[in-house]
Amino acid sequence: MKTTADAQTPIGNSHAQARKRRARSPAYRAERARLAPYEALARNLIGYRIEHGLTQAQLAKRVGTSHSAISRIESGHHAASPETLRKLATALDMRLVIGFERGPKKAPKRDLVVFG
C-alpha cells in the first residue's frame, strides 16, 4: 500500500521519491557535504538568536547588516565572512573561535584563534 508520501502527485514524483533519487547522485551528495558546515552554522545561529529573543531584523540591526543578510546565513546555503561572524558573535555576546585542524581525525591537533 502506498502512503501519502509515496503517492504520485499531479506534477510528478512525490517528495520522498525525488529525495531517494537525488541521494543516489554523486553530485548531490558532494553538494550536501559542501553545504554541511553552513547548515550547522545556520542551526547554531538560529538557536542562539531565538535564545536571546531576537528576530532576524533585530539581529541585523545589532550587527549593522541587512535583514536579508541574516536570512541568507540562516538559510544554510551561504558562506559568511569571518568579519560578519565576528560581528554576529559580538551581537550575541559570544566569542568567535576559528582555527585549523591537522593530523588524524580521531586525535586532531587544533590551532584556534579567539575573537572577542
Q: Evaluate whether residue 7 is within a structural domain.
A: no
Within a domain: residue 4? no
Q: What is the pLDDT of residues 8-17, one digit of tens each?
A: 555 677 778 8
CB atoms under 10 Å from CB of 73, counted, come to 24
pLDDT digits over 58-115, tens only? Answer: 999 999 999 999 999 999 999 999 999 999 999 999 999 999 999 999 999 999 999 9
For residue 2, being part of any structural domain is answered with no
Residue 23 near residue 16 (C-beta atoms within 8 A): no
Which grid cell is 49? 538568536
Q: What is the pTM of this model?
A: 0.73
Residue 3 lies in a domain: no
Domain count, the chain: 1
Q: Is residue 67 part of a domain?
A: yes
Contact predicate 95/103, CB 8 Å: no
Domain contains 108: yes
Q: Whole domain around residue 72: which residue ranges?
A: 12-115
CATH number at residue 30: 1.10.260.40
